[in-house]
Structure formats: structure tokens, C-alpha cells
Amino acid sequence: MLVRFLSLLVIVLGTVYSEQYKCKRAYKPSDYTGKLRVPSDCVFEQSPCPKSWKKGIPEGGETSMPMIDRKFLICHEGFSLCGYVPIDPESGKVLGQSGVTVGGGVDFGSKSREDFKSLSRTLVDKVEPYFDLTEHHAACAAFERPLRLTWLEANTLTDADIKYTTNKISKEYNKAIEKHKNTLPFASLPRGIRTAIISVAYQFGETPKFPKFWGNVTKNDWDKAIKELRKFYKEPDNQQRGDLKRRNNEADIIEATLVKCNRSVDVVFLIDESGSVSRRDFQESLDFVKTMIKAFPDQKKDGTRFGLSTFSSSYRSHFYLSSYTKQSDYLSAIGRVFFARGGTNLGRALEEILTDQFTEERGLRPEIDGVPRVLIVLTDGQSDDSVSIPAKNVRDENIVVYAIGISNYNLRQLQEIASSDSHVYKLSTFSQLEIFISTLTSSACYEPRPVSLNETIITNVAKDKYQYFSYKVKESSNLEISVADLSGSTLVYVSRTNPHPYKYDNDISFDLSQQKKKIIVISARPTPDTKGKRSTDDDELTRQIYASVTTVTDSARFKIEANECNPLNCTEGTNEMPIPPISSGGIVAATKFVVVGFVIFMMFFKSHGI
């Protein structure tokens, strides 16, 4: 009897606790102007997120949520242990139909118990009062009855919500593709594409709210899906910049997944063939090289070029940047590479590859062309000789170096070799190379071209495409970037953090495309999420500055150069000069001139019988 009574009491108390919350007083937006959320003291947990998603996401690597990349969602949604409602800081009004939100973007405004039926009753009872509350009702509930969760509770709700959304969208997608031929089921789509689809659905809730994108997705027309994401809003200036960046990032991870690169890059592979590498592992390394080459179209006039060298106790070159122009020729040449074995003299190989592969005589494009130079190193162990100085000499020639360590790698040596920590890849086995094909290919494809100060680059850019550049600048200096349009019209974006700056993610931009001579000055001052590196010249910290150039015309040819300047003499900003508007009086005068001129011509023709 007592047990039944206690059980009934738990049910009653649970019902009382989980009853939908009724606000005591109306929410007043004017009380919250200048705030980003209600309650304003709700703090987000910070996640380490990439500054750019151009390289996409790996095809595997997660065990908790293998269908999609959970990190991508959390990076864009944020993660909170308290319930909040996002608001417009200018008006104080709730954004859209938002409800009380927790964890990695779990919005209770559109939720019910059914959505969380797999979770413990205690946890569901705790959050149920916020179910189906939206807009101002949700805002007052979040303020009057604050919701606080443990990390485990918030994480559990997030995983359940992602799983529920993924299953729901997967079913809708699989049903929609039945009327289209040659389309892949949801589970067979690449992980980057699945993640982008779920990200859009996660934010908008229902597929009818993004019909054009959904229509392209269910037809597997990824090029159109990408274009739709990049122009998602008809009036982008009226939308949140965060949303615009998110749409662009979703487009980036789809684009990276497709493993198609139409940029010009000079890529050289340096593959370990020492005795610690088995014949099978060496073959998997060569297969990796083949797959990367296949991701680039056959070389035309300005296409991507490839070189291949291997190392053990000695260094061997198999083909150079100038050797071939067709994929079939590259693949045939790789098929003729034999396994030599020996020691692991990677330092010596780095010394030799600089003068053997990276020369104009062997097909390297001249500095002025601005073609990115990339070296991809694969090794499975520790080098028998020093790599630090040889690797630095390679990087000093404006060559971007990727270091891929497999199995028994030495992390310190990988970091000494690579251009940065983000250029280091750590794998357990050679078979995992396949997982990172798309990310490595996209990284190499969109790698900003390192440019020396005072170096001149003259190159082209097509509409909807970008040319990316990076500069090392002393922390005490400013960087003055000069872009001169030789033909067509360009736009320029500059950032201290994003390697691929664009309209909605930059620190300084030059938006007046009509102006042919563009100058941007940006400070190299540190930001909370940037780290400086010591300059070898005078031991002063240096920082990266990134620039991108695109065009509003079909194509453009431009010259870009940059140099350090004293902040006292050149201040941050641009030389952008607004075009003065034409007054209504000027328009009337011009119109009268045309009309009078036309009348005079007609009288002249008539008098002469013409």
C-alpha cells in the first residue's frame, strides 16, 4: 500500500513540476535592449571551432554520432547549461519563433515529451514546463523560472535532439527521393553533406521552411544546393550575420565533400618508404596520392600540377610539376613506383626536395603568378636526422607544408615540419588516409598563398571565386595591402583570424568595386584567439593576416602587394571613396540636354531632306 502511495505521489509531483509554465507578468522587450538573450546572465560554453570550414569535415572519426559531425552543430549553436531565449539587441524582441533553448541548440518551443521518450523521466519532467512556449512566453519563462542543467543533462538532451532530428529528416529525405532517379539514400550520402542538411533543418525545424534548398538536396543537385545556401536570404543585410556565416559554412562542407578543385595549385608529395613501412602501407600511401590527384581536373593552361618524391635513407624523385598534364599519365607514373626500404632521413629529404622539386625549371610557377605551393609529407615514424631547419627553409620559400603522421609518428617532429598545428594530421593506420581525402584535398585547394612583404602578385579571379593570400606581420606593425584592378572590378576582404575572409566574416573590407586602386590598412594587434610566432630576424612576435580577392564582373585581373607600416603613419582603414550621388537637378539637366539635342538633330535632318 505504501509503495503504491509513494508511486502515486511521484506521478502527482512530476505532473505538478512538469506543467507548462504560466508567466506572472508580460515580457517587456524594452527592458532588454542591448542584450543578446534572456536571461542576460546565461553564459555559453566555448567550443574550439575552426575559423574556416573550407576543408570540410572527415568522413569518420566520431563514435557518438557517426551520421553527422556533431562538432559542426555545436560550433554554430553554442552550448549552454542554462535555458535562454535569443533576442534582438536593438529592439529586445525575441528572434523569430524561438523557445527556451539549452545545450547545443535544443529549442523546447517545438518539443514534446515524445521527442525525448528515450530519456529518463526525471530529466524530461525537469524541462517539460518549457515545451511549446515560444516568443515572449518563452522569454518570461526563462527569466521567471530559470532552467539550470548539469553538463551531463545538457549533453544528453543535445544528443537526443540531434538523433531525433537526424532520423526525422532522414525519413523525409528517403521518401522525397523516390520520385527522382539516380539519387542516394540518406545513409549513403557523404558525411559532410548529411551534416549540412541536418544543420539547416536543425535551425529551421521543418523542411517546407527551406523549399529551394530541400528541392535541390532531394535531387542530389549539390551545385545548386551550394548556390542556394550562399544566397539563402534575399535581403542579407536584414539577417543575422551569424546565420549568413552558418549558411556559407554549410555550403563549404558540401563543396569540400564533393572533392572537386578548380584552382591552380603546385602540389608535391613526399612519401615515407623506409623499412618501418610495410609494402601494403606504402601502396596505400600511393593510392592516397592517386585519389588526391583524381580530385583535380586534367591540367589545362593554368591547372594544378603535381610532383612525387619518396624518402628512406636516400631521396628519390618520380615525377615533377612539369612532367605531366593528364590524370592518366600521373596514375601510370605512380603505378611504376617501386618500394625501396631503408632508414628514415626525412631532414635530408626536405633539403633535397626544395632544390629538386620546387624550381621553375621543374615546373614551379613563378612567384608573381600567385599560385599556392603545397608540400604534403607522409611519415610513419621518427626521422633519424633533424627536420627543424630543413623544414623551416622549405616554409621560408612560401611553401605550405602538411605533415601526416601515421602510427608511430613523432608529434614534435610533425609540428616542426608543418606550417601550423592545423596542418598536422595524426592517423592510427595507413587505411585511415581515405577518411581524410576530402579534407586534405580541400585544404590544399583553398590554401591561402603565403606572400612575402613587398612581393608583387599579378593574377586572375573569376566571378563567385576567390584568390586567397596570407602575410606575416610584426605585432607592432600595421599591414598596408594594395590591390590594383588591371581589368574587371574586384572586392577585397581582410581578416586577422579567418584564412578565407568574405563578405560576412572579415575585419576590414573594400566593397567599392568601381574604384580601381584599393588600399586597406589593418593592424596586426593580437586577438584573444590568435597566437603569435617569433620572428627570426629580431625575435619579435609575428602574426598572420589573411586577404581574399573576388570580382563582381565575369572575371578580373589584378595586382596585389603588401608591406608593413608604422601605425603612427598609417592607421587602420581604407582609401574607399564613395561615389557622389547624382542630384535630381543633374538628372533633369542631363535629360533636357538629350531632348534638346535630339530635336536639333531632327530639324537638321528635315531641313536637308534626310
Q: Which three cell numbers stand for residue 556?
A: 578580373
pLDDT in tens, 536-567: 445 568 899 999 999 999 999 999 999 999 99
Lowest mean pLDDT among 77-81, 93-97, 523-527, 595-599: 595-599
Nearest to residue 196, comparing CAs of 245, 250, 149, 146? 250
pLDDT in tens, 292-329: 898 887 766 678 999 999 999 999 999 999 999 888 99
**Phi, psi torsion values for 554, nearest 5 degrees:** -55, -35
Lowest mean pLDDT among 39-43, 184-188, 400-404, 429-433: 429-433
Q: Which residues contact 355 (CB under 8 A, 6 or more apart)?
A: none
Average pLDDT along the chain = 85
Burial 575-586 (b: 16+ CB within 10 A, else e): eeeeeeeeeeee
**Complete edge-to-edge strand list for the sheet that includes strand 573-574:** 457-462, 555-565, 478-487, 517-523, 573-574
pLDDT in tens, 191-224: 899 999 999 988 877 676 788 899 999 999 999 9
Per-residue pLDDT band at 237 (split at 50, 70, 90): low
Per-residue pLDDT band at 485 (split at 50, 70, 90): very high
Q: Which three cell numbers stand for residue 583?
A: 542630384
Position 593 scores a pLDDT of 44
Cα separation of 175 and 253, whole Å? 24
Amino acid present at 581: P
Position 528 scores a pLDDT of 54
> Strands, E, within 97-214: which ranges?
101-103, 106-107
pLDDT in tens, 369-422: 989 999 999 998 788 899 999 999 999 999 999 999 988 888 999 999 999 888
Q: Using the 8-state DSSP alphabet, how is residue 309 labeled?
A: E
pLDDT in tens, 145-204: 999 999 999 999 999 999 999 999 999 999 999 988 889 999 889 889 999 999 998 887
Cα separation of 454 and 509, whole Å? 21
End-to-end C-alpha distance for the chain, whole angstroms: 116
Q: Compute CA distances 418 → 149, 349, 377, whole Å.
A: 41, 15, 9
Position 432 scores a pLDDT of 80
Lowest mean pLDDT among 26-40, 231-245, 531-545: 531-545
Domains for the chain: give ranges and CATH numbers.
29-258 (1.10.530.40), 266-445 (3.40.50.410), 450-526+542-578 (2.60.120.380)
Position 606 scores a pLDDT of 53
- Find residue 376's DSSP bridge partners: 269, 402
Position 589 scores a pLDDT of 45
Higher pLDDT, 59 or 227: 227
- Find residue 401's DSSP bridge partners: 375
528 prior amide bond cis, ω within 30: no
Position 285 scores a pLDDT of 92
Q: Is the pLDDT assigned to residue 331 strictly greater than 90?
A: yes
**Phi, psi torsion values for 520, nearest 5 degrees:** -125, 130
Q: Is the pLDDT assigned to residue 577 strictly greater than 70?
A: yes
Nearest to residue 80, comparing CAs of 161, 147, 125, 163? 147
Residue 407 burial (CB < 10 Å; 0-12/13-18/19+)? middle
Cα separation of 322 and 312, whole Å? 24
* Three-class SS state of 604: helix
Q: Is the pLDDT assigned to residue 76 strictly greater than 70?
A: yes
| 275-278 long-range Cβ contacts below 8 angstroms, 24+ apart | 275/312, 275/341, 275/342, 275/343, 276/344, 276/380, 276/381, 276/408, 277/380
Per-residue pLDDT band at 531 (split at 50, 70, 90): low
Cα separation of 558 and 489, whole Å? 9
